[in-house]
Amino acid sequence: MKLLAPLFMAAALAASALPALAADAPAPAAKPDLAKGEASYSQVCVACHAADGNSMIPENPKLAQQHPEYLVKQLQEFKSGKRASAVMQGFASMLSDEDMKNIAWWAGAQPAKEGFAKDKDLVSLGERIYRGGIADRNIAACAGCHSPNGAGIPAQYPRLAGQHADYTALQLKAFRDGTRANSAQMTGVAAKLNDREIRAVSDYIAGLR
């Protein structure tokens, strides 16, 4: 019995420590509130990105069906200034992290409307770049990160399918010129593309589905 006493004491001490350990454990993250997300979106985002997230303005991106994690990252970087935009920084600065999360998950849950390519003379070039890159200039295929149908890879690479060609071209030029500096990977790719190639691949992306 004397030999067993230390074992009982050790067990009792371990049991007494459990509540303290449980108290130190982080609380589970709250689930996004889609109702609040829709309400915030309607107040802050709707004028530029349309009521259902399918912007009708070619220079403003479609947000519908975009990966929520990607949207949260962009909003946080607009707010901090890491992604430069005087307009978007003003809107993002009004949002808390919770607001951003709710908006992003609501927008991601909206179905995206299909787009279409407009420049038939460039669509073949755009397809070659998107699917195969340009090997002799070490330009990687867009499909490698954004998937063959433009769906992207959740949390890492954004959905591109159906995005406005004008918006995509503006972003590629911003990466190339250094005015958008929140993705070293995209800066490296865009730096090697000329204006014609940017127009071609942007137009091809608009028709992806």
Query: What residue segments make up the domains of the chain, in order of their start?
Result: 34-108, 123-206
Answer yes or no: CATH 3.40.50.720 is held by domain 123-206: no
Look at residue 4 and tell me whether its pLDDT is greater than 50.
no
Q: Which residue has the higher pLDDT, 110 or 22?
A: 110
In sequence order, what are the residues at sequence separation of 6 or more whose Cβ sits closer than 8 angstroms to the Cβ of residue 171? Answer: 180
Domains 34-108 and 123-206 are alike in CATH topology: yes
> How sure is the predictor about 190, in pLDDT bands with cuts at 50, 70 and 90?
very high
pLDDT tens-digit series, residues 45-104: 999 999 999 999 999 999 999 999 999 999 999 999 999 999 999 999 999 999 999 999
The pair phi, psi for residue 56, each rounded to 5°, is -100, 0
Domain 34-108: assigned CATH number: 1.10.760.10
Look at residue 206 and tell me whether its pLDDT is greater than 60.
yes
> How sure is the predictor about 17, in pLDDT bands with cuts at 50, 70 and 90?
very low
